[in-house]
Amino acid sequence: MQLSVINQTSQSMTCALSLPNSQPLYYTAVYASNLSSDRTELWADLLNLPSTLDLDSKPWLIGGDFNQIILPSEHSGPDVNTTDNLMYQLQDCFLQLGVFDLRYLGPQHSWTNNQPSNPIAKKLDRLLVNSSLIATLPQTLATYLPPQSQTTLLA
């Protein structure tokens, strides 16, 4: 496999992955900022990629830590029960990009605060795909591991 970095920002990197005798796949790795103002910059950068790299008709995956949920059900807290502006911003970004969550196995939440007295879990990690990726690789599936607790990591 040949990997070529074709675009890079402070919160993402897009690569072309080429296998012999097949069209390249495009993968954008994301590690979003903890600050919502910086994440807005990431959403804008992602929205520029399809036109800049002509990704609308090419197999494209976007994956990583978005540091933002898109639905209240992606938060374990009962007080998070309505969609807020930050959720709408990310939903709108995904809609404009024409990407959606790849089907997956594993837990609903990918992050935990590791506080037994006040536990919080969220779905912050995603693997998104476009229709061209599914048409090219229809059996594609993601597997998420459960979030690790600090005690497990230190043991």
Q: Which domains does the chain have, with CATH numbers?
A: 2-154 (3.60.10.10)
Nearest to 57 by CA among 135, 3, 5: 135
Tokens at 54, concatenated = 């002509």
Q: How far apart are the C-alpha atoms of 113 and 119, rounded to whole Å?
A: 6
**What are 1-49's pLDDT values in tens digits?**
999 999 999 999 999 999 899 889 999 999 999 999 999 999 999 999 9
Q: For residue 19, what is the enclosing H or E element?
A: none
Tokens at 37, concatenated = 């103002």
**Alpha helix ranges (H) inside the chain:** 36-53, 85-97, 131-136, 150-154
Residue with tokens 């494209």: 60
Give pLDDT, residue 79.
93
Give pLDDT, residue 66.
98
**Does 153 have pLDDT greater than 60?**
no
**Does 154 have pLDDT greater than 80?**
no
> Quick check: 13 and 28 in contact, CB under 8 A?
yes
